[in-house]
Structure 1
Amino acid sequence: MSLDLLTVAAYIGAMLWLGWLGMRRASDREQYLVAGRNLGPLMYMGTMAATVLGGASTVGTVRLGYVYGISGFWLCAALGSGIVVLNLFLAKPLLRLRVFTVTQVLERRYHPLARKASALVMLSYALMICVTSVLAIGTVMQVLFELPFWLAVIIGGGVVVAYSTIGGMWSLTLTDIVQFVIKTVGLMLVLLPICLWRVGGWEQLAVRLPASAFSFAGLGWGTVLTYFLIYFFGIIIGQDVWQRVFTARDGKVACFAGSAAGLYCLLYGLVCALIGMAARVLLPELENPNNAFAAVVKGVLPDGVRGLVIAAALAAMMSTASAALLAASTTLTEDLLPGERAGLWRNRAATLLAGVLVLALSMWVNDVIQALTLAYNLLVGSMLVPLLAAICWPRATTTGAVSAMLGGLGTAVFFMLRDGLDANTPIYFSLLTSAGLMLVLSLADGRARPYPAQK
């Protein structure tokens, strides 16, 4: 394991060095928050894919592949489809707005009250997305290096907090490009081929797993629909993803490079599901499926190669964690505690504060899929209807929007407490409640603010 530790230590050192380089480029607020709005196709594609594919997508999809088979792919498929739609149809108008947050769009359409209410939801969402990836980082490091869980969280999550705080979006961009390359090589070109070889090839995988493992309906179509309602729409309205859209040089870059990133997500989901299926053959008696990824890495790969794949997994998790962390701090400084004249120290202080809170929450939550579901239930259940109405329905009003947010949020929380985080009811009923309140109260109010023309 000494060689693996050396490899991981080199990776962590490289991330901190890239964070320092990003700090030198983050000379003002716009550079810190959106990298100067000047990323080209390759950097935009890499950073967009790295943002979406994190701890839940990697560890969670491997776990779904272990339990359900190839249908575990649907989680990443929902995320990737959301990326494609966002970049094809919404990126150009979003870039013209020259804003920093999702909630600023709501303020332009409704009232400052709508911005404040939605910012609280967006802050909660971003924090929980970051927690899922830090939790995954801790799980992997705990199993592979036999560390106490709290120490694994502090080390892995602390690196993310450090480079995100000092350099903002420029640090995230530089680290994401390296992380994108590392996880592509480590997972697609190293771990999957070795796992299939250890199983005995595709033929042996087909023989040793039940036929249901090769069905794309193995998760159940109800669960697949829920994934799309939660993750597809969550990607379309999430602050962490929108903030990456704002970094594109122009609409053409966002359209083509962003769509390529979405297609990459689909391929990544298939790879992780297949790794989970191979892990089920190699480690059939695994006590906790949440540890399937770490266990197969530890049990299948030789020294040195194992370190590369661990670095690849950490790359996937850290990229999403850093994106969500910066999204949380941006929501805090731009929406909840605005102060445009303050220096960069204020943005860095907010990022550090959000990072400390994330590390604390990661000690408490214990399931990456459940944490991800919680985050997206809150976001989509409360924010999807008001945001779509702001763009598509001229008669939507502030009263309807704020009521839809609060009603959807309360309904989602109620059904998650009653039926559990794995249930489909929280997202179904929260969307119905939110849509009903928006429709009835907007029609009753009748004082719509016209959407301002953009220059």
Structure 2
Amino acid sequence: MNILDTTVLILYFGALIIVGIIGINKAKSEKDFILAGSRIGYFTHVGCLAAVIIGGAATMGSTTLGYEFGVSGFWFVTMMGIGIASLGLFLVKKISVYEVFTISQLLGKRYGEGTQLISAIVTSIYTLMIVVTQVIGMGSVIHVLLGWPVLTSMFIGGGIVLFYTVLGGMWSITLTDIIQFIVMTVGVFFIMFPYSVNSAGGLATVFTSVPESHLNLTNIGGDKIFQYFLLYAFGLMVSQDIWQRVFTAKNEKVMKRSAISAGVYSFLYGLTLSIVGMCAFIVLPNLEDSQSAFTSLALTILPPGTLGLVLAAVCAALMSNASGALFASATLITNDIIKVYLKKDMNDKAIIQTSRIVTLVLGVIAIIFSAWIQNILVALDMAYAILSGAIFVPLIIGLFWKRTTSKAAFYAIIASTMVIFITFVIYGITSTLPIIYGVFTGLFVIVILTIFNPAKAKISERERYYH
């Protein structure tokens, strides 16, 4: 990278820090800090949802899959789009009637405090692992582009995210996400895509120059498509960082429309980057590591200035995903553990202060774990396996099957989590089996305990609220 591109990237980082500082003045109450006051309109909300869904793994991973498998690489991000669109179509109406900030709160209203606690612990582990994946990605990108040491790059990238998240909470995240969504959209759709296609000789040349298998929509394999469905379609429907963004909308109509729109955007994003990956296959056929397809192609074909903007788009995807997941984890711990079990009488000021401290501690832990693991795919697979396998069944069944009991949901989450970790040890972290076993374990436990140990006839206050 030349001085101009490096300057663009550094100015982008500086802009995020400034916007984060601006967010301090907007976070006046607990609802402001955690949900940006629930005042976000449609267009802004679409951008925020798209920014939190599409991270660095989605951006660089789709290009890698396009390089290796062709157009079928779009399934990776498309499954994320299906997840967020399904949330809008099938769940928003159900969840919008609850006065909650977190998934665990909803489960608590439905099943009781025990389930709220265990689901908060499990989900906070998932969200923290998502932060780890993005910090690893930021470190890798900054290391390659600017030549800084990997660990230093992780500390700088993670530190910037931690800085603006701690200061302004969801308001800072929302303001930065608007910038990041614009940068992502311009960088990928209006710069990287046309330059890539042009460098490969045009779309017609791309489709005739790649192997015929690269044009097959299922070339990636049915097992891999099914794995993405289990991980990402299920996962995004019950993901705290996604839900927390959904709740920032000003009403149910905006929630539903923007979730569906973000799903469509995700499909287009995945398809576009799969084609970019195919272009990289033509222009750079002998890459030693296909995971570098996006950055290698960008460094090869983009002129000064535009290169910096496109690489800022990659960082934008990483940072928006990291900040949302970090804040989601902090919200779960503050709202569903500390506020419920340790400090029940906190006012808004105390909640905001506690949230900032928890966010800071979790951010430092995430950066340390990132330096230790240094493998983005390992952390990503583990994160979504925990979420999809342990939380999906109790949450969805609880919303649609009114007979489900508190004890059944509580033990289903515990049993599923144990099975997932055990099968990770047996089959390895890249296997789909832990998710499948986790889902079926949860389904078995929740159905059996509900049928053979039904709730008492007396209807509790939370059940009256649910009905």
TM-score, normalisation: structure 2? 0.94
Query: Which residue does 2:257 correspond to in 1?
Result: 256
Query: Which residue does 2:435 correspond to in 1?
Result: 427
Residue 289 of structure 1, CA deviation: 2.1
Separation in 2 of the partners of 1:353 and 1:447? 40
Separation in 2 of the partners of 1:288 and 1:240? 31
Separation in 1 of the partners of 2:414 and 2:286? 45
| Stretch of structure 1 that moved more, 130-139 or 324-333 | 130-139
Separation in 2 of the partners of 1:262 and 1:277? 23
2:464 alignment partner AA: P
- In the TM superposition, 1:149-164 aligns within 5 A as 149-164=150-165
SS at 1:97 equivalent? coil
Query: Which residue does 2:445 correspond to in 1?
Result: 437
SS at 1:69 equivalent? helix
CA deviations 1:190-227 (Å, max 9, x no partner) are 01111111111123322332111111101111211121
1:156 alignment partner AA: G
| Stretch of structure 1 that moved more, 403-412 or 259-268 | 403-412
Structure 1: 5+ residue stretches without partners = none
CA deviations 1:118-151 (Å, max 9, x no partner) are 1111011101111112211111111111221101
Separation in 1 of the partners of 2:296 and 2:253? 42
Matched, 1:373 2:378: no
Query: Which residue does 1:129 correspond to in 2?
Result: 130
- In the TM superposition, 1:44-123 aligns within 5 A as 44-123=45-124
- In the TM superposition, 1:7-406 aligns within 5 A as 7-338=8-339, 339=343, 340-341=346-347, 342-406=350-414
Separation in 1 of the partners of 2:464 and 2:105? 13
SS at 2:287 equivalent? coil
Separation in 2 of the partners of 1:279 and 1:418? 37
Separation in 2 of the partners of 1:304 and 1:56? 24
Separation in 1 of the partners of 2:228 and 2:239? 15
Residue 37 of structure 1, CA deviation: 0.9
Separation in 1 of the partners of 2:397 and 2:91? 14
8 Å contact from structure 1 (residues 49, 264) kept in 2:
yes
Separation in 2 of the partners of 1:280 and 1:186? 20
CA deviations 1:27-49 (Å, max 9, x no partner) are 12110000011111111111011
Separation in 1 of the partners of 2:353 and 2:464? 33
Separation in 2 of the partners of 1:90 and 1:176? 24
Query: Which residue does 2:465 correspond to in 1?
Result: 453
CA deviations 1:387-427 (Å, max 9, x no partner) are 11211222222222122112211222222222222222111
CA deviations 1:326-374 (Å, max 9, x no partner) are 1010011011211433242211111111111111111123333332221
Separation in 1 of the partners of 2:293 and 2:358? 35
What is the root-mean-square deviation in Å for CA atoms of aligned residues?
A: 1.5
| Stretch of structure 1 that moved more, 334-343 or 126-135 | 334-343
SS at 1:421 equivalent? coil
- Over 3 Å counting, the alpha-carbon distance change for 1:216 and 1:370 in structure 2 is farther
8 Å contact from structure 1 (residues 59, 136) kept in 2:
no
1:433 alignment partner AA: T
Residue 83 of structure 1, CA deviation: 1.1
| Stretch of structure 1 that moved more, 58-67 or 202-211 | 202-211
Separation in 1 of the partners of 2:228 and 2:207? 26
1:453 alignment partner AA: Y
Aligned equivalent of 2:423, options 392, 411, 415: 415
8 Å contact from structure 1 (residues 133, 320) kept in 2:
yes
Separation in 2 of the partners of 1:216 and 1:136? 27
8 Å contact from structure 2 (residues 334, 351) kept in 1:
no
Separation in 2 of the partners of 1:74 and 1:371? 20
Structure 2: 5+ residue stretches without partners = none
Separation in 1 of the partners of 2:455 and 2:13? 54
SS at 1:452 equivalent? helix
Separation in 1 of the partners of 2:189 and 2:93? 32
Residue 454 of structure 1, CA deviation: 5.7
Separation in 1 of the partners of 2:374 and 2:278? 23
CA deviations 1:125-184 (Å, max 9, x no partner) are 101111112211111111111221101111111111111110000001111111111110
Separation in 1 of the partners of 2:434 and 2:417? 10
- Tell me the matched-pair count: 455
8 Å contact from structure 2 (residues 94, 399) kept in 1:
no
Q: Percent identity?
A: 36
Separation in 2 of the partners of 1:150 and 1:388? 40
Separation in 2 of the partners of 1:4 and 1:310? 9
Separation in 2 of the partners of 1:236 and 1:207? 38
Separation in 2 of the partners of 1:197 and 1:161? 38
TM-score, normalisation: structure 1? 0.97
Separation in 2 of the partners of 1:68 and 1:401? 40
Separation in 1 of the partners of 2:97 and 2:404? 22
8 Å contact from structure 1 (residues 50, 176) kept in 2:
yes
1:418 alignment partner AA: I
- Over 3 Å counting, the alpha-carbon distance change for 1:343 and 1:255 in structure 2 is closer
Structure 1 stretches of 4+ moved >3 Å:
none
Separation in 2 of the partners of 1:61 and 1:139? 17
CA deviations 1:35-79 (Å, max 9, x no partner) are 011111111111011110111111111121122211111111111
Separation in 2 of the partners of 1:361 and 1:297? 29
